[in-house]
Amino acid sequence: MAVTLPRAQPLRLLAGVLVLLLFTVEPAIADDQPAQTTALLIDGKVKRAQRLSVDALHRLPAERVDVSFQTSHGTEKSSYTGVLLWRLLDEAGGIDDPAKGAELHHTISITARDGYTVVISTGEIAPDFGGKAAMIAYERDGVELGAQGLRVIMPGDRHGGRYVRDVVEMEVK
């Protein structure tokens, strides 16, 4: 015996409409977000805090480096092009500290859009000391990183942990 429950129909209709709304409204909200423009903020203890666009980075002296590092999904081997962190500090007027040996007294907190943060010391990248050719890359294997965002390159690191993806800020402390 087929018994139809008349009250079930409007409920189903309502559920259907709700499901439809979920699928249609969510992308509409995402589309309303302002386009994320890639830029790098250099602030904290620097003389002239800067917000550098990708174009501005392209106008600075470029370095290209071949690197290879371990990740949870195997070894990554690529060639990155970008600007040395030390050169970027220079662009921001240098470390704002007149003390002798100031380049050995500070840290740089590098933060990504997802909140991932890595801290390095200024002494590690100072040319007369650690001299590490750490850089912010805008290009990988000849292709612009574009929407992937800028990336920290740490030549010599064995694991990829400091290869911060989509970096947005370098704060000198």
Ligand X SMILES: Nc1nc2c(c(=O)[nH]1)N[C@H]1C(S)=C(S)[C@@H](COP(=O)(O)O)O[C@H]1N2
CA distances for 56 relative to 114, 145, 150, angstroms: 23, 15, 13
CA-CA distance, 116 to 94, in Å (whole number)? 25
Residue number with CB closer to ligand X (82 or 160): 160
Tell me if residue 150 falls in helix, strand or coil.
coil
Structure tokens at 34: 């302002």
Residue number with CB closer to ligand X (114 or 144): 114
| Smallest separation (angstroms) from ligand X to the CB of 135 | 15
Residue number with CB closer to ligand X (134 or 164): 164
Residue number with CB closer to ligand X (53 or 68): 68
Give residues in contact with ligand X (CB under 6 A).
Answer: 71, 76, 112, 114, 116, 159-161, 163-166
| Smallest separation (angstroms) from ligand X to the CB of 13 | 44
Tally of residues, the chain: 173
| Smallest separation (angstroms) from ligand X to the CB of 159 | 6
CA-CA distance, 38 to 159, in Å (whole number)? 25
| Smallest separation (angstroms) from ligand X to the CB of 82 | 15
CA trace torsion 150, 156, 157, 160 (10° rounding): 40
